[in-house]
Amino acid sequence: MSESTAAGITTAIRVEALDAGCDDAAGVLAQRLGLPLGGEAAYAVQVGGDGLQFAELGPQASGPIRVDFLSGAVAHRRQFGGGSGQMIAKAVGVQSGVRPTVLDATAGLGRDAFVLAQLGCTMTLIERQPVIAALLEDGLARALADPDCAAIIGRMRLVCGDAIALMRDWEGDPPQVIYLDPMFPHRDKHALVKKEMRLFRPLAGDDDDAPALLEAALALASHRVVVKRPRKAPAISGMLPGYALEGKSSRFDIYPKRAMK
């Protein structure tokens, strides 16, 4: 049994092929992630003909999770969402003639970054947990092949690494906006969100370094930093936000540095 460690959490994970035709791809992925191919484990990164998924193993396990921009809730939001009137769009400064460059430093499954890319923002995504990054990379690749999503995905660039270190050593023009959504026990009661939080918490843990993440973001962003929080959660310790946009279950704490034009 091998172990994968992130944010102080140690979890046994294996890679497995869902059918014989995926054996080679599963072997390559296992080597890349430094995980065993088969063997006893509590979780599995599963390789199938329609991409990657992450699953809890055992008789009490719920269904797997995968990144899918082409169907389900993400596709529905793409087709019928609120456009630039969405709260996240207002939080990052999307307005008439303004589509900021955005660094999503806690990319996760990429849903918020996808919404902003759909609205025309140029996105850089950072995900530090290698398994989650692999799922996101797979979802981006599948969506890039779809004619309805190719242009959106073309505005999204994924980097796997530690966001704090990458922001401190940033090369090139700084992003206008840095977006943070640190792991937190969100109160969103949506069944899918609850399942994802339960599955990914052993992988990613809590973002105990959120204050350092915010500090690095404030030092790098040219125009503003935006932090997504559960509606009643405290702000990240450190500098207080300039203002907040509040919804039913979450809010966006905004740290302005320069007017968005």
Binding-site sequence positions for S-adenosyl-L-methionine: 111-112, 127-128, 181
Residue 144 amino acid letter? L
Q: Tell me the three state secondary structure of residue 12.
A: strand
Query: Bridge partners of 11?
Result: 4
State how far the Cα of 146 lies from the Cα of 148, in Å rounded to an integer. Answer: 6
Q: φ, ψ for residue 43 (rounded to 5)?
A: -140, 160
CA distances from 52 to 40, 64, 66, 94 (A): 19, 10, 6, 33
Residues recorded for the chain? 261
Binding-site annotation: residue ranges: 111-112, 127-128, 181
State how far the Cα of 243 lies from the Cα of 51, in Å rounded to an integer. Answer: 41
Residue in 73, 29, 35, 34 with CA at minimum distance from that of residue 48: 29
